[in-house]
Structure 1
Amino acid sequence: MEETEHKAINHRKLSKATITKRGILIFLGAVLMAVGLEIFLVPNQVIDGGIVGISIILSHLTGWKLGLFLFTLNVPFFYVGYKLIGKTFAISTLFGVTVLAISTTLLHPVPVLTHDPLLASVFGGMILGIGVGIVIRYGGSLDGTEVLAILFQKKSPFSVGEIIMFFNLFILGSAGFVFGWDRAMYSLIAYFIAFKTIDITIQGIDESKSVWIISENYYVLGEAIIARLGRGVTYLNGEGAFTGDDKKVIFCVITRLEEAKLKSIVEEIDPNAFLAVANIAEVRGGRFKKRDIH
């Protein structure tokens, strides 16, 4: 019994079909983001938030390729993402950012579809948001801002969402000095549309999510979540309304970047488990902070 549980807790390799599906969708998401940037936003001097926004500003000031900055500035976050979230996330992010950097370079000579900054902000923000949402939904990221915010949150009184908001307000404000204040305002429109589109694409953009799992293999699942996600779990006593049987309910809180990995763990150990995931507006106190994964 102990040997079986130990094998279940340890990381198992993803199937080729799962890896292929994830790779194709992350590739598609990264290309869509590149289209939103190079065909709509960048030619109209409208920027996005995060590392992408910094990359657009630096590319404009230096004349160097946007893809170079997108890749270089995200490099440190591959390692940080590996330590905070896991190997699968880091590899998925590396692949997504590489595709994004190459795609922006290849799309750079393509003629833009509109020179109207409002249309560019709306449609560029939508396409960019869909791309980012797809990548996040399938376990990766195209911007190191969220990883950076999770890291800073451990040593600050601010939430991940608040840190991201402050960071992006600074970047979007900087666009006013570089491109003009009208472009900064268009950038705010594009950022808001992208933000809401990501929300729709991944069905919930809140950084924290509560997870409820009912499974006969509750102990193995709980230990796997602790070992592979570094998240604490709580076992609650429950009773089936129809059967009257005693049941154990697993409760834990994760970040939205960890949702794909948690679902993978549950699917791997108990495909028949009941799983419910809900958005949380705020998390304070307790043992929500992540444990180090060795």
Structure 2
Amino acid sequence: MKKLLLPHWIQDTIYVICGILFCGFALRSFLVPNSFFDGGVTGISLLVHELYHLNIAYVIIIANIPFIIMGAFQVNKTFAIRTFAAVIGLGLCLLYLPYPQITSDKLLVSIFGGVFMGIGVGLAIRGGCALDGIEVLALYTGKRISFTISEIILGINIIIFLIAAIKLGLPTSLYSILTYYTASKTISFVIEGLEEYTGVTIISGESETIKKQLVMTLGRGITVYKGERGYLKDSFDIHQPVDIIFTVVTRLEVRRLRNLIQDIDPKAFVFTSTIKEAAGGVLKKRARH
């Protein structure tokens, strides 16, 4: 029987709505009542809220508008429209939903405030928009200077936390750094999911046997590149053709694959690389949502 699949726009809408609710919960129930911060535009909004006592809902909307406009040019107009709608939705949640304050314990606030914020932002990204425009700014700036996007985001966040340390005290700034770290790790987890994939490249003189075992025993799809092996220092002119095998497995399957190759050819050259996102082919991917 075929699985019942929702249209993409319905799935995206559900992701975004859930993301808005989680972000609102993180802000109203953890961060705002305890004067904690996050990184990015959200961190700037929280800082402005604390310093000037402006309503956080209005500050977040206004602070994101320049980045939404920038996103229309850097990404596309659909992304900008979705992001604008999501930010307005977040503002309305902050204004009208009666989120309770959960705790005043600083460690719990910094960790779980970051977790719920990361879940919210990650779900919004999966829905095709952004609840924090800092990456749009980094993308825009990165095209004009030699720094990477990660370095730009890090630099902006360092400035935010330095201002927080000066104005509101070092302990608050340090706890807020923990919040940001927790949120960033949670965002990666939500976007990439449990089954982070690993690409494995195998070069071996027993390539035919290895290919058969990968497909028939592990049930993995393979791609074969034609190459040459040899070219050693003492026998540089001696080389022979070889099939270079590439396959994709989950992290839990890496050890089993290595053991299988070790049994066939202990001298095989094997190296792995992390794959952030994989779909299609014959991947046995478990549904995450």
- Is 2:1 the partner of 1:20? no
**Mapping for residues 232-251 of structure 1, pairs under 5 Å:** none
CA contact (8 A) 2:36 2:110 kept: yes
Aligned Cα RMSD in Å? 2.7
- Measured after TM superposition, the shift of residue 131 of structure 1 is 0.7
1:58 aligns with 2:48: yes
User: Conserved in 2, the CA contact under 8 Å of 1:57 and 1:178?
Assistant: no
Q: CA deviation at 1:273?
A: 6.7
Which residues of structure 1 form unaligned runs of 5+? 1-15, 205-237, 242-255, 264-271, 276-294
TM-score by length of 2: 0.64
In structure 1, what is the Cα distance between the partners aligned to 2:100 and 2:72? Answer: 38
Identity %: 37
Question: Is this contact kept in 2: 1:49–1:168, CA < 8 A?
Answer: yes
Contact 1:78 1:90 in 2 (8 A): yes
Q: Which structure is richer in relative contact order (CA contacts within 8 A, separation 6 or more)?
A: 1
**1:127-142 correspondence to structure 2 within 5 Å:** 127-142=116-131
Contact 2:30/2:102 (<8 A) preserved: yes
What residue is the counterpart of 1:73 in the other structure?
63
1:93 has 2:73 as partner: no
1:86: how far off? 1.3
Tell me which residue corresponds to 1:223: none
Give TM-score, length-normalised by structure 1.
0.63
Distance in 1 (alpha carbons) for counterparts of 2:118 and 2:61: 19
Partner of 1:200: 189
Q: Segments of 4+ in structure 1 off by > 2 A?
A: 238-241, 272-275
Q: Distance in 2 between matches of 1:69 and 1:34?
A: 14
1:162 alignment counterpart: 151
Secondary structure of 2:44's aligned partner: helix
- Larger-Rg structure: 2
Give the match's secondary structure for 2:85.
helix
Report the Cα offset of residue 274 of structure 1: 8.0
Q: In the alignment, is residue 190 of structure 1 matched against residue 190 of structure 2?
A: no
Corresponding residue to 2:140 among 141, 147, 151? 151
Q: Give the Cα–Cα distance (whole angstroms) in 2 for the partners of residues 59 and 45 of structure 1.
A: 9
Q: How many residues align?
A: 202
Once residues 84 and 60 of structure 1 are traced to their aligned partners in structure 2, the CA distance between those partners, rounded to angstroms, is 31
Question: Paired residue for 2:19?
Answer: 29
* Aligned position for 2:211: none
In 1, the alpha carbon distance for the partners of 2:188 and 2:78 equals 23
